[in-house]
Amino acid sequence: MMAETRSKGGVEEIIADTETGLSLVVENGVAIITYDQPSSPVNTLNSRVAPVFDRLFTRIEQDAAIAGAVLVSGKSDTWIAGADIEELGRIESAAQGEALSRGGHALLDRLAALKKPVVAAIHGAALGGGLEVALACRYRIATEHAKTVLALPEVQLGLIPGAGGTQRLPRTVGLQAALDMILTGRNIKARKAWQMGLVHELVHPAILRDVAMRRVHDLAAGRPLPVKPRKGSAATVLLEENALGRKLVFRKAREGVLEKTKGKYPAPLAAIDVIQHGYAEGMEAGLREEARVFGELTVSPVSRQLAGIFFATTALKKDNGLPDGVTATPRPVKKIGVLGAGFMGAGITTVAVQAGTQVRLKDASVERLASGWRAVRDVVRERLRKRQITRLQMDDTMSLVGGTTDYRGFANVDLVIEAVFEDLAVKHQVLHEVQSVAPNAIFASNTSTIPIRDIAAAAARPELVVGMHFFSPVHKMPLLEVIVTPETSAETTATVVQYGRQLGKTVIVVQDGAGFYVNRILAPYINEAGRLLDEGARIEEVDAALADFGFPVGPITLLDEVGLDIAGKSGPIMAAAFGDRMLPSETLRRVVESGRLGRKAKNGFYRYDEAGKRQGVDESVYALTPAGASRKTVPASEIQQRCVLPMLNEAVRCLQHGIVRSARDGDIGAIFGIGFPPFLGGPFRHLDTIGLPVALAQLEALNLRFPGRFEPAALLREMANAGRRFHP
Amino acid sequence: MPTFGNGRRVAIIAGVRTPFARSGTALKDYTAIDLGRFAVGELVQRTSLDGAAVDLLVYGTVVQSVMAPNIAREVALMPHFPKTLQAFTVSRACASANQAITDAADQIALGHADVAIAGGSESLTQVPILHSRGMSDILVAASKAKTMSQRVATLARIRPKDFVPITPAIAEPSTGESMGQSADKMAKINGISREAQDRFALRSHQHAARGLDDGRLTAEIAPVPVPPKYDAMLATDNGVRRDSTYEQLSSLKPVFDRQYGTVTAGNASPLTDGASAVLLMSEERAKALGYTPLAYIRSYAYAAVDPAEQLLQAPVLAAPLALSRAGLSLGDIDLVEMHEAFAAQVLSNIQGLASKTWAARAGLSAPVGEVDPERLNVMGGSLSIGHPFGATGARVLTTLCNELSRRGGQFGMLTVCAAGGMGHAMVVERA
């Protein structure tokens, strides 16, 4: 569908490919290539664009009237956001992935080798393949704008850059800077990109195109450019410009990666290998290696799971949280009330003011308000320290926190989130108070233990009552669990789901019930870890086995972090709701009774020094456990099976009873709420991987050894017998 | 129903202020802009106001920031408002917030605005310190130098005396007299005894303490976190001395005239940091938005005297003017708030209002009248609460309206004296 016009007497010649959205216009001897992918909010690189680019390059090369080209985006916020991930998901073999990469190499090698200068005029995000295209251009200009960020985020999807990024980036910005970008995938803001030499010039968006066109002529004429790229420091050059120094850098990078990934994620290590290969054997060999490794990784299980998470979170961003076919218009939320300035209340306030919401933060005393205000400030101040925000932005953010000891100023709040003491009578009291001062406000409880329907029972308008279960620390934990009761209105649900996303959270909607979803599947896991201690397992071995499974920390460490008082409270509630299979371990019960509180009191299963830094296991805990001081070694595989299987089993029960709407939500909730290993894709993906019949058999075997606790969920049995999977 | 404008009554909806803190104490790390943002932010939140409804923000300040001379605009750029909220800063010495309020009220009365925020802010800790004239001349010359050697030569002209900085003093440019000296002089002219001053100061502290303890004053205050640790919030005025005694006050030495003077640190208002703000609306808009006004502005007036004579006596001329514009007499007034710069000044003002001489100067045939002590500054005043110059006016108006409403009174009057020999009075009415 390539339309080509050539107006003989005119000044413009146009090529427009409507299918890909690529077009070329000649202005003052410069070919302006605009990419504006149709019916897509962003520009991605798919298999269809390569031949069109090829054709445009040919035109530029052959037309003597063209001095060079400028590459711009037709989108307002993005330049080129990377490869089409769905297309990557359809790759079936390593060879196919490798071929895709080689195709990209051929195209970008041609771009890099064009005799005429091509200038990347970057406004908006240049990510992954997008940045790789820019790197192949002769010259890069970026706009100094908040939307302009550059990154190679492939490792976050379990991949490595596959269009020359592993080779061109180190040659552009130096080895260490390139390793940092490729191994973390983090976004580089425009100014930083300019400082590190990733782009040559920074301009205001209004003059981007003009300056880019001017640079084409400057480059074509061989004129010296007014702006020189930045050079690295002497130390950087010394370290990177000789083989010995580089060897040191690579070794450090590998150590750093292994410490972070514990060997569970192959992509970062593979990226280091490929970069090193390029240094040793040259660019061409580096590119060939890049393609080979890229191909392997595209079909690797880890990459498939990470892509699955990407698709799930992308889908959740568009989900209104309502049952299929139900729609409701979410109310705008401009001002909220937060009841309780404690740890959670302050945390919720923090994310709310950072999202630009006015917050009425209420507590009983000015002293408690002061500590809450300070907790908010500490988080915001940290962002200033890291230069993520300016001083003015910090002041503006803090100005949105309005501390109060009464309900003045609640008349126009759109939403109230309570984080008061976990006691039903207290919750009822604040609910009454709120409904009298702000009768139309949505009332959300941040409870983690009390069923929302019990709270809503006291409401004049139960349709406005909902649960918003944030995880601690609120500003870091990415999940928000929204809990609805049968009476919660669609508008209420849609509003808190949308607002939760405004706060930067991934939101799953779950049905009411003890522990909701996340804490419910966590309970049997924690209980079983405690039972292993009951039987005489060592604390550090239980933790190590599950950290090795892929959890960020082991369950006993988690107990210390959460606080033993809090953990001790939820155990009996779960047991009361679900019976003996959720009975807390004897060890936890006794340790809680002994008055240990965990890290916050520097007194838990582990020892802590004065500064709160963790030391070793506190061996004196063992005296409190049924097995006493005598300890035995339990194989890691048994620890993993006994703790993880009941978590998976409980997740299936939640799906069976409609607590979670889908396996997708269950996977995301476990990964973002508990830290379930992302490379396993979540409980349901993991069950699919190990095979439902295998999981069923393992549970049944355990249930024989420990009757009751491992009784397989009916849905698991049913699906295993029918040969079905949770995900297609 | 009298109005001061073209028939549009101006309603006072609410007022909020930061705690007032003796300068150099709890709020010393905040600029006047920071303090103003605390007061205005809380005003918006507490009144459940939609920031987009505000048409105008006027703010008063005395010691102007060199870096941000229009502090009103800096306050208006808070995230609570759209960036389109226009704002300007005014200065009329200690009546700056009053000027802000009457400017905003005028705009409402004229129909140019329906919702306005007015108030003021002052940091008397963070005051600009100036270079000496000699130093400034050299620095300006150096900045204009074309070559490095010229610049070095220019800078070499700096002498040690040039480094002595100039701190702005609270002195009248026209007379060179400090305000304390003026107050001392007024005490002498009007025969205000040291004992009367000390007893009035004591009364101020006792009344303020009661207002803070029973919550009437505290209700006006937005708690402000205390830097640099931010581990506490200041929710009360820290200059109010609950344990003050007459004996203590009477033992203090005069500050301004050590030989014959009677003005001491105890019967003068302290240097103070703080900010305040009031929400004003046209009567119709208040009704449309569902607000119940505390009171309405019935009239106001400004007046001035020769600063060389009795610097702080102009309220005596402003009050009768405001009363006559209101069509009222002092006897109609249920509650009076007089700004207390100095006890000697308040007592001189009261005396002036009752005097035939001052009545004649105001062009009246009879004195304005006796101020009933039971209706005067019933929750203390600037002597105890403190006096952040630019903020006091909105504090006084807020207290007046709140208390008038609590007492179920009909009319209230406030007066404020100001440097330059100026005075202000305003009459408010309920319903």
Give the helix/strand (H/E) hosting A570: helix A564-578
Are the C-beta atoms of residues A361 and A402 closer than 8 Å to each other?
yes
Give pTM, 2 decimals. Answer: 0.92
- Phi and psi (nearest 5°) for A492? -60, -50
- Rounded to an integer, the average pLDDT of A394-415 is 97
Q: Do A399 and B37 touch (CB under 8 A)?
A: yes
Chain B CB contacts of A370 under 8 Å are 223, 225-226, 230-233
Q: Do A366 and B45 touch (CB under 8 A)?
A: no
Q: Tokens for A343, please give them.
A: 């740890």
Q: Does B223 touch chain A (CB under 8 A)?
A: yes
pLDDT higher than threshold 60 for residue A229? no
pLDDT higher than threshold 80 for residue B402? yes
Q: Which of B80, B401, B417, B424 is catalytic?
A: B417
Alpha-carbon distance A235 to A250, whole Å?
Answer: 16
Q: Tokens for B125, please give them.
A: 């800790």
d(CA B333, nearest CA chain A) in Å: 30
Chain B CB contacts of A408 under 8 Å are 46
pLDDT higher than threshold 50 for residue B19? yes
Are the C-beta atoms of residues B104 and B70 closer than 8 Å to each other?
no
B38, B42, B48: residue with CB nearest A412: B48
Confidence at residue B422, expressed as pLDDT on a 0 to 100 scale: 97
- Rounded to an integer, the average pLDDT of A213-223 is 95
> How many domains does one find in chain B?
1
Give the helix/strand (H/E) hosting B322: helix B315-326
Residue of A nearest to B228 (CA): A374
Alpha-carbon distance A216 to A201, whole Å?
Answer: 13
* Least-confidence region, from A360-374, A438-452, A566-580, B398-412: A566-580
d(CA A379, nearest CA chain B) in Å: 13
Q: Does A356 touch chain B (CB under 8 A)?
A: yes
Q: Does B429 touch chain A (CB under 8 A)?
A: no
Confidence at residue A230, expressed as pLDDT on a 0 to 100 scale: 58
Q: Does A449 touch chain B (CB under 8 A)?
A: no
Q: Do B48 and A399 touch (CB under 8 A)?
A: no
- Rounded to an integer, the average pLDDT of B356-363 is 95
pLDDT higher than threshold 70 for residue A703? yes
Confidence at residue B153, expressed as pLDDT on a 0 to 100 scale: 84
pLDDT in tens, B368-384: 999 999 999 999 999 99
pLDDT in tens, B242-273: 999 999 999 999 999 999 999 999 999 999 99
Q: Do A402 and B230 touch (CB under 8 A)?
A: no
Q: Do A367 and B233 touch (CB under 8 A)?
A: yes
Are the C-beta atoms of residues B187 and B197 closer than 8 Å to each other?
yes
Q: Do B225 and A410 touch (CB under 8 A)?
A: no
Give the helix/strand (H/E) hosting A425: helix A424-437
Q: Do A400 and B79 touch (CB under 8 A)?
A: yes
Rg, chain B, Cα only: 22
User: Is residue A164 very low, low, confident or very high in pLDDT (cuts 50, 70, 90)?
Assistant: very high
Chain A CB contacts of B223 under 8 Å are 366, 369-370, 403
d(CA A430, nearest CA chain B) in Å: 19
User: Is residue A243 very low, low, confident or very high in pLDDT (cuts 50, 70, 90)?
Assistant: confident
pLDDT in tens, A441-478: 999 999 998 999 999 999 999 999 999 999 989 999 99
Confidence at residue B357, expressed as pLDDT on a 0 to 100 scale: 96
User: Is residue A8 very low, low, confident or very high in pLDDT (cuts 50, 70, 90)?
Assistant: very low
pLDDT higher than threshold 70 for residue A12? no
* B17 within a domain of the structure (yes/no): yes
Q: Does A710 touch chain B (CB under 8 A)?
A: no
**Domain coverage including residue B39:** 10-126+270-429
- Rounded to an integer, the average pLDDT of A17-28 is 94
pLDDT in tens, A269-328: 999 999 999 999 999 999 999 999 999 999 999 999 999 999 999 999 999 999 989 999
* B175 within a domain of the structure (yes/no): no
Most confident of A8-22, B149-163, B367-381: B367-381
pLDDT higher than threshold 90 for residue B3? no
Kindly report the average pLDDT of chain B as a whole number.
94
A358, A371, A395: residue with CB nearest B45: A358
Sort A132 into a burial class: Cβ within 10 Å, 0-12 / 13-18 / 19+: buried
A481 included as an active-site residue: yes
Higher pLDDT, A544 or B133: A544
Q: Do A374 and B34 touch (CB under 8 A)?
A: no
Q: Does B37 touch chain A (CB under 8 A)?
A: yes
* Least-confidence region, from A129-138, A429-438, A716-725, B119-128: B119-128
- Rounded to an integer, the average pLDDT of A549-565 is 93
> What's the CATH fold of domain A2-153+172-230?
2-enoyl-CoA Hydratase; Chain A, domain 1 (3.90.226)
pLDDT in tens, A37-65: 999 999 999 989 999 999 999 999 999 99
Q: Do A396 and B46 touch (CB under 8 A)?
A: no
B387 included as an active-site residue: yes
Q: Do A373 and B225 touch (CB under 8 A)?
A: yes
Q: Do A366 and B223 touch (CB under 8 A)?
A: yes
Interchain CB contacts (distance < 8 Å): A and B = 63
A367, A377, A399: residue with CB nearest B230: A377
CA-CA-CA-CA torsion for B26, B30, B34, B35, nearest 10 degrees?
40
DSSP state letter for A573? H
pLDDT higher than threshold 80 for residue A717? yes
Kindly report the average pLDDT of chain A as a whole number.
94
pLDDT in tens, A107-145: 999 999 999 999 999 999 999 999 999 999 999 999 999
User: Is residue B144 very low, low, confident or very high in pLDDT (cuts 50, 70, 90)?
Assistant: confident
Confidence at residue A13, expressed as pLDDT on a 0 to 100 scale: 61
Q: Identify the CA nearest to B319 among candidates B367, B356, B357.
A: B367
Confidence at residue A232, expressed as pLDDT on a 0 to 100 scale: 63
Percent of chain A scoring above 90 in pLDDT = 88
B38, B49, B235: residue with CB nearest A366: B235
- Rounded to an integer, the average pLDDT of B200-214 is 97
The CATH classification number of A518-563+570-587+632-721 equals: 1.10.1040.50
Q: Do B46 and A409 touch (CB under 8 A)?
A: yes
- Name the E strands within B207-344: 224-225, 233-234, 272-282, 295-304, 335-338
As a 3-state breakdown, chain A gives helix, strand, coil percent values, each rounded to 5, of 50, 15, 35
User: Is residue A31 very low, low, confident or very high in pLDDT (cuts 50, 70, 90)?
Assistant: very high
Maximum Cα–Cα distance for chain A, whole Å? 96
CB atoms near residue B331 (< 10 Å): 10
How, if at all, do strands B10-17 and B295-304 pair? antiparallel
Chain A CB contacts of B79 under 8 Å are 356, 396-397, 399-400
Q: Most A CBs within 10 Å: which of B45, B77, B294, as the mutation test of the A interface?
A: B45
Q: Does B231 touch chain A (CB under 8 A)?
A: yes
CATH number for position B397: 3.40.47.10
B34, B49, B232: residue with CB nearest A370: B232
Q: Do B232 and A411 touch (CB under 8 A)?
A: no
Q: What residues have CB less than 8 Å from B133, skipping those under 6 apart? A: none
Confidence at residue B76, expressed as pLDDT on a 0 to 100 scale: 98
Q: Does A335 touch chain B (CB under 8 A)?
A: yes
The DSSP string of A262-311 is TT--HHHHHHHHHHHHHHHH-HHHHHHHHHHHHHHHHTSHHHHHHHHHHH
pLDDT higher than threshold 60 for residue A4? no
Q: Does A204 touch chain B (CB under 8 A)?
A: no
pLDDT in tens, B295-333: 999 999 999 999 999 999 999 999 999 999 999 999 999
Distance set, CA A152 to CA A161, A192, A297, A702, B39 (Å): 7, 15, 16, 45, 46
Higher pLDDT, A218 or A568: A218
Q: Tokens for A372, please give them.
A: 């809450």
Chain A CB contacts of B37 under 8 Å are 395, 399
Are the C-beta atoms of residues A20 and A2 closer than 8 Å to each other?
no
Residue ranges covered by each domain of chain A? 2-153+172-230, 335-511, 518-563+570-587+632-721
* B1 within a domain of the structure (yes/no): no
Q: H helices then E strands: how many in chain B?
A: 14, 12
- Rounded to an integer, the average pLDDT of B14-19 is 98
Confidence at residue A11, expressed as pLDDT on a 0 to 100 scale: 46
Alpha-carbon distance A445 to A452, whole Å?
Answer: 7
Q: Does B73 touch chain A (CB under 8 A)?
A: no
Are the C-beta atoms of residues B216 and B237 closer than 8 Å to each other?
no
Confidence at residue A465, expressed as pLDDT on a 0 to 100 scale: 98
Percent of chain A scoring above 70 in pLDDT = 97
d(CA A343, nearest CA chain B) in Å: 15
Q: Does B156 touch chain A (CB under 8 A)?
A: no
Q: Does A618 touch chain B (CB under 8 A)?
A: no
Q: Do A360 and B45 touch (CB under 8 A)?
A: yes
* B41 within a domain of the structure (yes/no): yes
Higher pLDDT, A185 or A567: A185
Chain A CB contacts of B15 under 8 Å are none
Confidence at residue A242, expressed as pLDDT on a 0 to 100 scale: 83
Are the C-beta atoms of residues A555 and A495 closer than 8 Å to each other?
no
User: Is residue A238 very low, low, confident or very high in pLDDT (cuts 50, 70, 90)?
Assistant: confident
Q: Most A CBs within 10 Å: which of B73, B233, B234, B294, as the mutation test of the A interface?
A: B233
Q: Do A367 and B46 touch (CB under 8 A)?
A: no
A356, A371, A402: residue with CB nearest B79: A356
d(CA B396, nearest CA chain A) in Å: 21
pLDDT higher than threshold 90 for residue A239? no
Chain B CB contacts of A410 under 8 Å are 48
* B312 within a domain of the structure (yes/no): yes
The architecture in CATH of the region A335-511 reads: 3-Layer(aba) Sandwich (3.40)
Q: Which of A13, A154, A296, A481 is catalytic?
A: A481
How, if at all, do strands A78-80 and A68-73 pair? unpaired
Q: Does A403 touch chain B (CB under 8 A)?
A: yes
